[in-house]
Amino acid sequence: MGGGGNMSSMTTKNEQKKNPLERVPSSKPPFTLGDVKKAIPPHCFQRSLIRCVCTGIWVIDHECGHHGISDYQWVDDTVGLILHSTLLTPYFAWKHSHRRHHANIDSLENDEVYIPRLKSKLRWYYKYLNNPLGRIYISDAGVIAVTYLLYRVTLTQGLAWVLCIYGVPLLIVNGFIVLITLMHHTHSSLPHYDSSEWDYLRGALATVDRDYGVLNKVFHNVTDMHVLHHIFSYISHYHAMEATKAIKPLLGEYYKFDDTPILKAMWRDTKECIFVEKDKDKGVYWYKNKL
């Protein structure tokens, strides 16, 4: 998550000239989780329900799942239950699965979100479907099925009601959620680990901050503050900019930011990141694109 400002303004000229596809280190970092926490100003760990209310519904929902809006768990769960229900999302099921993702980020055995395939497990049809064009066709099939259900509701409630109250807002929000999370966890410069090499900090560092331009502020900077969010998911989005600035010098080459225009990056990374292969004899895997 993130808050305030544009990540581009935080990036020095030297950083912008770096090759965005250059691999990040996969070795054990020279710093600990405690070192990273000490680098962040203490007030960044404070919560404020009022400040969260000033953002979009999805941002508040997400903060609730991380116990990030209030000092009281019951407040977070109550608000999260109400708002998730309005988006037809089961709150406690999402909270459980999302926390498992954060606890096992980039573990090939235990992560639950955007786990890359091993080359040995690819099937013949992946060559035709697991590419940008094929994925668009599959997504269209799902949208068509849902559109039929909405058509049945339209017969009773009317087209204007369905479009204004449900259809347009929900499709736009969900589309951006899928895009943002996919791009945070899919990048050829990032390693993935099996159980012989994985630990929490290395997994948390294996994600990338992206630059969506003016949309960074529209999305409350969930786009360009994701590395911090995986290290300390309970830091609220409105402190994330300050906290990211504080930890970047410590993380050094372990911090990944890609300022490639997002549409270009989406096409490149969904085309190049097809499966992962082990790096020599280690339990470290890197994305490949040729079968």
> Using CA atoms, how far apart are residues 218 and 55, in angstroms rounded to an integer?
10
User: How large a percentage of the chain has pLDDT more than 90?
Assistant: 23
How confident is the model at residue 2, as a pLDDT? 43
The torsion of the CA quartet 185, 216, 56, 47, rounded to 10 degrees, works out to 80
pLDDT confidence of 256, banded at 50, 70, 90?
very high
The model carries a pTM of: 0.63
- In angstroms, the CA 196 to CA 107 distance is 10
Per-residue confidence (pLDDT) for residue 85, from 0 to 100 = 72
Helix, strand, or coil (residue 113): coil
DSSP string, 21-43: TSPPP-SPPSS-HHHHHHHS-GG
State residue 274 phi and psi, 5-degree precision: -95, -45
Greater model confidence, 7 or 172? 172
Contacts (Cβ under 8 Å, ≥6 apart) of 278: 284, 285
**Distance between CA 173 and CA 139 in Å, rounded?**
15
CA distance 58 to 65: 11
pLDDT band at 233 (very low <50, low <70, confident <90, very high): confident
Cβ pair 229, 130 in contact under 8 A: no
- What is the model's pLDDT at position 14? 46
Angle, nearest 10°, between helix axes 73-86 and 57-65?
Answer: 140
Does pLDDT of 15 surpass 60? no
CA distance 181 to 43: 27
CA 16-21-25 angle, to 5 degrees, is 95
Least confidently predicted of 107-116, 246-255, 258-267: 107-116
Query: Would you give the end-to-end CA distance of the chain in angstroms?
Result: 35
pLDDT tens digits along 83-121: 777 776 777 777 777 777 777 776 776 776 667 767 666
- pLDDT tens, position by position, 234-245: 888 888 899 999
What does the alpha-carbon distance between residue 225 and residue 211 come to, in Å, rounded to a whole number?
Answer: 10
The DSSP call for residue 201 is H
- Pairwise CA distance, residues 197 & 193, whole Å: 6
Q: Across 68-77, 141-150, 153-162, which has the greatest mean pLDDT?
A: 153-162
Residue 38 has pLDDT above 70, yes or no: yes
Task: Return d(Cα 249, Cα 255) in angstroms, integer.
Answer: 9
